[in-house]
Amino acid sequence: MSQETSQATSQATSQATSQATSHATWGGRFSEAPDALVARLNASIGVDQRLYAHDARGSQAHARMLAAQGIISPDEAQRICDELTRLTAEVEGAPGPRGEPWAWSEALEDVHMNLEAQLRARLGDAGARLHTARSRNDQVATDTRLWLMERTDLLLARLEALIDGFLTLAEAHEEVILPGYTHLQRAQPVLLAHHLLAYVGMFERDAERLRDARRRCARSPLGAAALAGTPFPIDRHATAAALGFEAVIPNSLDAVSDRDFAIEFTSAAALCMIHLSRWSEELVLWSSQEFGFIELPDAYATGSSIMPQKKNPDIPELVRGKAGRVVGDLVSLLTLMKGLPLAYNKDMQEDKEALFDAADTLLDCVTVTAALTPRLAIRAARMRQACDQGFVTATDVADHLAARGLPFRDAHHVVGRLVRWCIAEGRALTDLTLDEFRRFYEGFSPDILEAVTVEASVRARQSEGGTAPRRVREALAAARARHPRP
């Protein structure tokens, strides 16, 4: 056999072998198909298929850059881009070349290999050239970041709607007074609008955190390739700019192994869920007969299958409960990344389920809370009546004495005795006479009879950030200026 013949034979043999046994994803290195359970465990297509549009966009930007740099031909780049646009449409329901519906393949592992396999099947060499100077490691990080940037923008818009809901409710009930609580004991009267503005403060911080996390998410890992960069003369700034990233991640190892962006987002999401859970808990309490402060809109409440009289606050309860899920997602991600050596590790494939769950759950909970909050029926009379019990103006009595020279600690003691007497006698602070006040301390002046009322108590709290109507009006107007009515 001549050398030539023998080479040809061995080439043909190796091609045949590769066709018979090579692996759909990993190619010639493998001589055995994966075990069925391995294939299932290894595949992430069930979770990451929702990245298809971002994967296609990333590939298009990469292909254009390869052509601009003379690494593939302009014609190849064009065919890749056109085919990716078609593939995206097919994933979204357009029929395939033979009229067939799009189907994901578990054997092809993930969204990246699924799209690329189709591209190769349809375009041959041109499709196979797309993966030049790229790896799934920089590809998946790019896709996930692009998805999260978009999700963050959507969430920020919904948070704005949530804040608007709180402001709308506050504006509609500017005068309403309810007891403020500490330890869930009636403490001092406050304006409902003041209470609602406290949540506006929380959600504004949440939005601030999301915007801040987005800045670091918007940095491009593309071009880091597997971990060390690539010998091809790529232009990372071109792909970054084409995809809407604000910068390029300078270190290739960091680019493929960093998941801080997912953790930062999920941490901000968890904290926002904590805030939503606190409001939800108040809705559960306030809608109970014991409080009777609000009624939930029917569209956002549920009934009981056995007790016909019930109107249950299931939605706030669920939001409260789902805060636990998102905290779990955060813990999953932190635990996932802890102790991982550089650079990419397959563990990181698990990041998406937690990240997607956190983003989806938060979006739903923000949206439903934004919808129900401005529609709450406020039982203003019940809120005001609740201020008539519980000696909520006792601090005002002590303040009255302290303003007249008695050291506050001593004033506190005097009023403590006064309250104890009222409890024993079944009296309220508001129906005591001046003589009765003076039995406990002779320095009471006649204006105590006014100072001890609920309205005067609220009016008196004029310090910056306090609940005095003047302050709350200012705060509400300032918040409205920051969040104009849509």
Q: How far is the CB of 110 from ligand ARG (least distance, A)?
A: 4
Distances in Å between the Cα of 317 and the Cα atoms of 198, 355, 365 are 21, 23, 11
Site for ligand ARG in 35-64 (CB under 6 A): 44, 48
Among 14, 31, 288, 304, the one annotated catalytic: 304
Nearer to ligand ARG, 45 or 198 (CB): 45
- Segment contacting ligand ARG by CB under 6 A, of 134-142, 162-170, 217-225, 473-481: 134-142
Buried b (16+ CB within 10 A) or exposed e, 9-46: eeeeeeeeeeeeebbebeeeeeeeebeeeebeeebbbe
| CB atoms closer than 10 angstroms to residue 236 | 22
Name the segment binding ligand ARG (CB under 6 A); options: 63-71, 136-144, 355-363, 454-462: 136-144
Say how many CA atoms lie within 13 Å of 47 toward its Cβ.
17
Does 137 sit near ligand ARG (CB under 6 A)? yes
- Other C-beta atoms lying within 10 Å of the C-beta of residue 96: 14
Nearer to ligand ARG, 350 or 364 (CB): 350
Answer whether 104's CB lies under 8 Å from 49's CB: yes
Q: Among 465, 437, 464, which Cα is nearest to 452's?
A: 437
* Residue reference for tokens 């940095």: 219
* Cβ-proximal residues to 241 (8 Å cutoff; 6+ apart), any chain: none
Does residue 45 contact residue 215 with C-beta atoms inside 8 Å?
Answer: no
Q: What's the min distance (Å) between Cβ of 136 and ligand ARG?
A: 4
| Closest approach of ligand ARG to the CB of residue 142, in Å | 11
Q: Does 344 bind ligand ARG (CB under 6 A)?
A: yes
Name the percent of the chain in helix, strand, coil, to the closest 5: 65, 5, 30
- The residue (of 349 and 457) whose beta carbon lies closer to ligand ARG is 349
Count of chain residues binding ligand ARG (CB under 6 A): 10
- For residue 114, state whether it binds ligand ARG (rule: CB under 6 A): no
Between 227 and 449, name the residue whose CB sits nearer to ligand ARG: 227
Euclidean distance between CA atoms 274 and 266, whole angstroms: 12
In the set 183, 194, 275, 400, the catalytic residue is: 183
Among 55, 76, 110, 138, binds ligand ARG (CB under 6 A): 110
Query: Active site includes 332?
Result: no
Task: Name 378's bridge partners.
Answer: 294
**Whether 127 contacts 138, CB under 8 Å:** no
Stretch that binds ligand ARG, among 99-107, 308-316, 344-352, 384-392 (CB under 6 A): 344-352
- Nearer CB in complex with ligand ARG: 137/280: 137
Q: Please confirm, yes or no, whether 304 is among the known catalytic residues.
A: yes
Site string for ligand ARG, 60-99 (x = CB under 6 A): ----------------------------------------
349 near ligand ARG, rule: CB under 6 A? yes
Nearer to ligand ARG by Cβ, of 88 and 257: the residue is 257
Amino acid at 176: V
Name the residues that contact ligand ARG, by CB under 6 A.
44, 48, 110, 136-137, 140, 344, 346, 348-349
Catalytic residues: 183, 304
